[in-house]
């Protein structure tokens, strides 16, 4: 059940009136439900029952430290892809021993910092990266725990930009080549290969590609065992999709159960890295209609949010529902393109939306909790939106709106 519902024709986030929030904090405004974050994380955790497991929330999805802190308190682990994300986790009180480090281009200083704080595991994506980790770990005289991220060559059947498990993608190591890499790793003095990692894409709405990937990973695990390399954990990545409009992704519990059924081993630890399936429907982006611009050809509703606040529609042709914050009792619906103030034709949040609109109305772009704020930019010198967390009738401003000083205070004139 969504935490964003109408009470008396007005949208509420849990028990907080969204138009009140807009009045207090201004728009564009991200609003998150703490309850939704907690419930979704727990669904993953509880679905594993007695299987040893660690749910590592993918920090890139929504990395506000208040959110990381809420999840850390539940015992969450974290999947990071940069030193910046590691520093966020530490600042949020996350346990470094529950951090896995993914990403294709880890720098030496990032590896060093991760070793220093003692993360759980590096997910290695190439021979060259394995060498680099060995070098850094040796200098520090620490043994680095690693998994090799394998590319199982399965089609995730999702948007090409967020599909990562095909041979064409830059990610991971061809699963056929992985045994050689594990042998090298096992022979290195400062590397300990402890896991196998894979992540095949994002916004998957079918279980089959996950199960296919796991099958291939299990074959590799057996092959490694036959060659004297014992694997302690399997990291199956993230990728479970959500409902933006009419998609019907599997329930969290059915997805985990399908994995456990295939696994058939109660001792190996399973790590997963969900992001969107926890954060996506825990947030909305609230925006105000600045102008209505009906033309002979099309109706444009120009809002105060733009592609710099939420880039998914422009970048992936993503569809996110757009709902009125207050339902009008009069007027009629028309088709509107919901566009932002940025000087780009690609700057739209929705096209041909049937809405009953007036200038000054507030709109909510739904399912904006994942890859919303974290992908926001300052394009057109637009301050990034404020972020608000609510639970029941409580409200926290977890990031104030950027000021113009934030935007250009560190820039310098040349003499
Ligand atoms: N683990 C790794 C190694 C990843 O690369 C990702 C996402 C995740 C976990 C989390 O995946 P999720 O559970 O959220 O599907 N910006 C795009 C999505 C990019 C996903 C990148 N990797 C979007 O807005 O749709």
Query: Which comes out higher in pLDDT, residue 172 or 92?
Result: 92
Averaged pLDDT, 182-195 = 98
Distance CA 382, CA 111 (A): 34
**Ligand 1: centre distance to CA 302 (Å):** 30
Residue 301 has pLDDT above 70, yes or no: yes
Total number of domains in the chain: 2
Phi, psi of 279 (to 5 degrees): -95, -25
pLDDT digits (tens, 9 = 90+) for 25-62: 999 999 999 999 999 999 999 999 999 999 999 999 99
Two structure tokens written together for 63: 């990395």
pLDDT digits (tens, 9 = 90+) for 234-275: 999 999 999 999 999 999 999 999 999 999 888 999 999 999
Q: What is the pLDDT of residue 330?
A: 86
Give the domain range for residue 143.
Answer: 103-272
Residue 277: exposure state from Cβ atoms within 10 A (0-12, 13-18, ≥19): buried
Domain boundary (246, 272, 298) is at 272
Task: Tell me whether residue 297 is in a domain.
Answer: yes
Task: Tell me whether residue 80 is in a domain.
Answer: no
Distance CA 252, CA 302 (A): 37
Looking at the fold, whether 118 and 230 belong to one and the same domain comes out as: yes
Task: Tell me whether residue 173 is in a domain.
Answer: yes
Two structure tokens written together for 301: 């509703």
Task: Tell the residue nearest (CA) to atom 6 of ligand 1.
Answer: 238
Give the pLDDT band (50/70/90) at residue 169.
confident
Question: CA of 405: how far to CAs of 33, 139, 382, 401, 409, in Å?
Answer: 29, 41, 12, 11, 5
Looking at the fold, whether 287 and 243 belong to one and the same domain comes out as: no
Percent share of the chain, pLDDT over 70: 97
Pocket test for ligand 1, best of 40, 60, 204 (most atoms within 8 A of CB): 60
Task: Tell the residue nearest (CA) to atom 22 of ligand 1.
Answer: 202
Looking at the fold, whether 243 and 196 belong to one and the same domain comes out as: yes
Q: Does 343 participate in catalysis according to the annotation? A: yes
Question: CA of 328: how far to CAs of 3, 334, 366, in Å?
Answer: 22, 13, 19
**Beta pairing, strands 322-324 & 362-365:** antiparallel
Averaged pLDDT, 163-175 = 76
Looking at the fold, whether 137 and 253 belong to one and the same domain comes out as: yes
Residue 78 has pLDDT above 70, yes or no: yes
Who lines ligand 1 at CB under 6 A? 58, 61, 79, 102, 162, 199, 202-203, 237-240, 273-277, 312, 316, 371
Averaged pLDDT, 134-156 = 94
Task: Tell me whether residue 78 is in a domain.
Answer: no
pTM greater than 0.95: yes
Task: Tell me whether residue 55 is in a domain.
Answer: no
Looking at the fold, whether 124 and 209 belong to one and the same domain comes out as: yes
CATH of the domain at 337: 2.40.37.10
Q: What is the pLDDT of residue 266?
A: 83
**Ligand 1: centre distance to CA 364 (Å):** 23
- Beta carbons within 8 Å of 288's beta carbon, 6+ residues apart: 22, 27, 303, 304, 360, 361, 362, 363
**Ligand 1: centre distance to CA 61 (Å):** 7
**Ligand 1: centre distance to CA 273 (Å):** 9
Q: State which ligand 1 atom lies nearest to the alpha carbon of 164.
A: 5
Residue 1 has pLDDT above 90, yes or no: no
Q: What is the pLDDT of residue 265?
A: 83
Domain boundary (272, 297, 318) is at 272
- Roughly how many angstroms between the first and final C-alpha of the chain, as a whole number? 59
Task: Tell me whether residue 60 is in a domain.
Answer: no
pLDDT digits (tens, 9 = 90+) for 320-346: 999 999 998 888 999 999 999 999 999
Task: Tell the residue nearest (CA) to atom 19 of ligand 1.
Answer: 162
Residue 153 has pLDDT above 90, yes or no: no
Q: State which ligand 1 atom lies nearest to the alpha carbon of 197.
A: 3
Mean of all residue pLDDT scores within the chain: 96
**Ligand 1: centre distance to CA 237 (Å):** 9
Looking at the fold, whether 118 and 183 belong to one and the same domain comes out as: yes
**Ligand 1: centre distance to CA 39 (Å):** 20
Pocket test for ligand 1, best of 158, 202, 252 (most atoms within 8 A of CB): 202
Looking at the fold, whether 141 and 266 belong to one and the same domain comes out as: yes
Residue 167 has pLDDT above 90, yes or no: no
Task: Tell me whether residue 61 is in a domain.
Answer: no
Looking at the fold, whether 248 and 111 belong to one and the same domain comes out as: yes
Looking at the fold, whether 127 and 206 belong to one and the same domain comes out as: yes
Domain boundary (241, 272, 303) is at 272
**Ligand 1: centre distance to CA 44 (Å):** 16
Q: State which ligand 1 atom lies nearest to the alpha carbon of 238.
A: 13
From the list 17, 56, 198, 343, the catalytic residue is 343
Q: State which ligand 1 atom lies nearest to the alpha carbon of 202.
A: 15
317 torsion bin: left (phi>0), alpha (psi -120 to 50), beta (else):
left
Task: Tell me whether residue 97 is in a domain.
Answer: no
Two structure tokens written together for 375: 């992908």
Looking at the fold, whether 189 and 109 belong to one and the same domain comes out as: yes
Looking at the fold, whether 404 and 298 belong to one and the same domain comes out as: yes
Pocket test for ligand 1, best of 62, 275, 318, 372 (most atoms within 8 A of CB): 275
**Ligand 1: centre distance to CA 316 (Å):** 13
Q: What is the pLDDT of residue 166?
A: 64
Pocket test for ligand 1, best of 276, 277, 319, 375 (most atoms within 8 A of CB): 276
pLDDT digits (tens, 9 = 90+) for 60-77: 999 999 999 999 999 999
Q: State which ligand 1 atom lies nearest to the alpha carbon of 123.
A: 3
- Beta carbons within 8 Å of 18's beta carbon, 6+ residues apart: 4, 10, 11, 12, 31, 284, 286, 325, 362, 364
CATH of the domain at 259: 3.20.20.10
Looking at the fold, whether 256 and 284 belong to one and the same domain comes out as: no
The helix (H) or strand (E) run that includes residue 214 is helix 208-226
Q: State which ligand 1 atom lies nearest to the alpha carbon of 279.
A: 14
pLDDT digits (tens, 9 = 90+) for 4-14: 999 999 999 99
């Amino acid at each position: 059940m969504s935490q964003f519902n109408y009470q008396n024709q007005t949208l509420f986030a849990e028990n907080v009136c969204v138009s009140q929030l807009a009045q207090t904090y201004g728009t564009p405004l991200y609003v998150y439900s703490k309850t939704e974050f907690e419930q979704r994380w727990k669904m993953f955790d509880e679905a594993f029952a007695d299987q040893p497991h660690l749910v590592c929330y993918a920090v890139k999805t929504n990395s506000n430290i208040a959110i990381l802190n809420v999840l850390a308190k539940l015992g969450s682990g974290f999947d990071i892809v940069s030193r910046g994300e590691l520093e966020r986790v530490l600042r949020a009180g996350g346990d470094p021993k529950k951090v896995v480090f993914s990403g294709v281009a880890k720098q030496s200083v990032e590896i060093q910092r991760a070793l220093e704080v003692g993360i759980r595991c590096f997910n290695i994506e190439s021979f060259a990266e394995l060498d680099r980790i060995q070098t850094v770990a040796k200098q520090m005289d620490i043994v680095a725990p690693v998994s090799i991220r394998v590319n199982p060559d399965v089609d995730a059947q999702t948007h090409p930009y967020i599909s990562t498990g095909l041979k064409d993608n830059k990610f991971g190591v061809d699963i056929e080549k992985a045994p050689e890499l594990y042998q090298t790793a096992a022979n290195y003095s400062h590397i300990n290969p402890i896991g196998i990692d894979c992540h095949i894409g994002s916004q998957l709405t079918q279980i089959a590609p996950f199960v296919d990937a796991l099958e291939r990973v299990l074959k590799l695990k057996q092959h490694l065992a036959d060659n004297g390399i014992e694997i302690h954990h399997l990291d199956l990545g993230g990728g479970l999709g959500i409902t933006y409009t009419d998609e019907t992704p599997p329930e969290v519990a059915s997805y985990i159960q399908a994995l456990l059924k295939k696994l058939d081993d109660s001792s190996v630890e399973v790590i997963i890295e969900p992001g969107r399936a926890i954060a996506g429907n825990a947030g909305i982006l609230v925006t105000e209609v600045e102008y209505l611009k009906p033309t002979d050809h099309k109706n444009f509703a120009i809002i105060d949010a733009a592609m710099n606040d939420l880039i998914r529609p422009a970048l992936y042709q993503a569809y996110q529902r757009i709902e009125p914050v207050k339902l009008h009792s009069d007027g009629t619906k028309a088709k509107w393109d919901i566009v932002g103030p940025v000087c780009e034709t690609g700057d739209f949040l929705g096209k041909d939306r049937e809405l009953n609109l007036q200038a000054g109305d507030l709109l909510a772009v739904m399912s904006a909790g994942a890859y919303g704020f974290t992908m926001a930019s300052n394009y057109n010198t637009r301050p990034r939106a404020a972020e608000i967390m609510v639970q029941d009738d409580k409200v926290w401003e977890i990031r104030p709106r950027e000021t113009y000083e934030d935007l250009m205070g560190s820039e310098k004139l040349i003499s």
